[in-house]
Amino acid sequence: MTAALAVLAILVAIVLIAWARVEVHGTADLEALVEEHSTMSNAGEAGEAGAAENEAASSRWATGFSH
């Protein structure tokens, strides 16, 4: 029972942290990331899209949680 409550508390904390991130920073950077990803995947540039995706992902984590 205690373990189930601990897991639930962790999940609630994750949701609250994500919600706070959206409230503080907004969603413009995430929308731009999705738009950039869809543009590159539609263009069929697999090599460049993979590198750009890795760069965007590292940037997203750095800017999303370091502020």
| Structural domains in the chain (count) | 1
Instruction: Using alpha carbons only, give the angle 30, 34, 40 rounded to the nearest 5 degrees.
Output: 140
Residue 11 lies in a domain: no
Residue 50 lies in a domain: yes
Predicted confidence at residue 67, as pLDDT, reads: 44
- One digit per residue, the tens of pLDDT, for the chain of length 67 reads 999 999 999 999 999 999 998 888 788 887 888 888 888 777 655 555 566 666 766 666 655 554 4
Instruction: Using alpha carbons only, give the angle 67, 62, 41 rounded to the nearest 5 degrees.
Output: 130
Residue 4 lies in a domain: no
Residue 6 lies in a domain: no
Tell me the whole-structure pTM to 2 decimals.
0.45
Predicted confidence at residue 33, as pLDDT, reads: 83
Domain region containing 49: 16-65
Predicted confidence at residue 65, as pLDDT, reads: 52
Predicted confidence at residue 43, as pLDDT, reads: 64
